Each structure stands twice: as structure tokens, then as C-alpha cells.
């Protein structure tokens, strides 16, 4: 028996075993990292949703929505609030309240009921046509700019460009209207985007 050859083979086997140990440790670590990443992704899965009237597809997570979704929702909310007459304001109010954040439900209901009474008393109507939408995906808000036309007894009394801030609280896979308010534009601010950035 060649002792030197035996010792050389033994050292070679030990080196191979050490290499295999390092490889197994690396694979175990990679498996743990992959498991952590998979668990993290599973909690923030994006779902692609196609609206009933296909305008644009968009994504949503459990806590956020894409700017395309925000734009479509803001335009819809503006339609429900600003494009009204005595015959449509009641059903639009009911449709709107389905989207309002629970903490704001009472205030929005009162606001729309007061507006309904005002429109009926003066036989008025408002018509809103969005012209520009500036979404802020980080804040889940949109600034909507458009022409608001007001009529009383069928006669136009006002026709001007107005801007509105629409804020959403997106949670549990559903958007809730948090804020809808007019933005008083500063004549020194040239761009609507600048107004959106300040909000």
C-alpha cells in the first residue's frame, strides 16, 4: 500500500468536500433570498384590470393604483359632481357616494344635497368638460382642469376654466374619494403641473 498516494487522495477528497460544503451553503442562501423575494412580491401583486369601456388598461396593487386608473376615476368623479342638472343630480349623487371614503360620506352627501336644492331653485345646470388631467401616483391624486359652463333657465351665465384637486385613498383593492375641491389658480403660476406639484 502506497501511503503517500493514500494521503494525497485523502487530502483531495477533503478539498472536494469543502468545495461541496461551500456550494451547498451558497445554494441554501440563494434559496432563502428567493423565498423572501417571493413572499414580498406575493404581498404587492399587480393586477391588470380592464374597465367596462376600454379606454386604457391599468394596474392596481393592494395599496396603490396606476396614473391611468387615477385619471379615469378623477374624470368619472368630476362628471358625477360637476356635470349635473335637476333631473340627474340625485342619481349622480347616489353613484358618487358609493365611491366616497366612509369618513367623508356625510359631508359629501350634505354638499351634494345642498347643490341639488340650489340647482332646483334656480333651474340651473352645470356642464364640465375635462381638458387636462395631471396625476400624482405617489399621492394618489389628480388635478383636473376643464371648462365649467353654468346655465340658469337655459341661459348661459358662466363659462370658465377651472381646476379641481381629486384625492383618492386606495386600500383593499378599492378607490375611495377622499377630497374633491377647487384649486384657486395663482395667475403668476403658468403651468397646471406646478399647481399639482404643490399639493
Total of domains in the chain: 2
> Are 10 and 96 contained in the same domain?
no
* Claim to verify: residue 70 and residue 35 sit in the same structural domain: no
Position 191 scores a pLDDT of 47
Q: What pLDDT, on the 0 to 100 scale, is given for residue 82? A: 94
- The CATH number that applies at residue 119 is 3.10.450.230
pTM over 0.95? The answer is no
Q: Are residue 144 and residue 85 in the same domain, yes or no?
A: yes
Q: Is 177 exposed, middle or buried (0-12, 13-18, 19+ CB in 10 A)?
A: buried
First-to-last CA distance in the chain? 86
pLDDT along the chain (199 residues), means of 10: 74 84 89 83 53 55 78 90 91 89 90 92 93 91 94 90 92 82 69 46
Q: What's the rounded Cα separation, in Å, for the pair 49 and 58?
A: 6
- Is residue 55, in this structure, part of any structural domain at all? no
Instruction: Check residue 17 and give its pLDDT.
Output: 85
Say what the pLDDT of residue 28 is. 92
Contact 71, 175 (CB under 8 A): no
Query: Cβ distance 162 to 182 under 8 Å?
Result: yes
Amino acid at each position: 500500500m502506497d501511503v503517500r498516494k493514500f494521503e494525497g487522495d485523502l487530502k483531495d477528497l477533503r478539498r472536494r468536500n469543502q468545495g461541496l460544503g461551500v456550494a451547498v451553503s451558497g445554494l441554501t442562501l440563494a434559496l432563502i433570498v428567493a423565498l423572501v423575494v417571493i413572499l414580498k412580491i406575493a404581498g404587492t401583486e399587480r393586477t391588470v384590470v380592464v374597465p367596462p369601456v376600454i379606454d386604457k388598461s391599468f394596474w392596481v396593487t393592494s395599496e396603490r393604483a396606476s396614473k391611468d386608473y387615477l385619471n379615469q376615476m378623477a374624470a368619472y368623479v368630476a362628471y358625477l359632481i360637476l356635470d349635473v342638472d335637476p333631473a340627474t343630480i340625485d342619481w349622480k349623487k347616489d353613484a358618487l357616494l358609493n365611491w366616497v371614503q366612509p369618513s367623508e360620506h356625510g359631508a359629501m352627501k350634505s354638499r351634494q344635497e345642498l347643490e341639488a336644492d340650489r340647482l332646483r331653485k334656480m333651474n340651473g345646470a352645470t356642464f364640465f368638460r375635462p381638458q387636462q388631467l395631471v396625476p400624482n401616483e405617489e399621492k394618489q391624486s389628480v388635478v383636473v382642469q376643464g371648462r365649467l359652463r353654468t346655465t340658469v333657465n337655459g341661459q348661459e351665465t358662466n363659462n370658465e376654466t377651472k381646476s379641481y384637486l381629486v384625492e383618492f385613498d386606495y386600500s383593499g383593492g378599492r378607490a375611495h374619494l377622499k377630497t374633491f375641491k377647487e384649486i384657486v389658480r395663482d395667475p403668476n403660476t403658468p403651468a397646471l403641473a406646478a399647481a399639482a406639484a404643490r399639493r
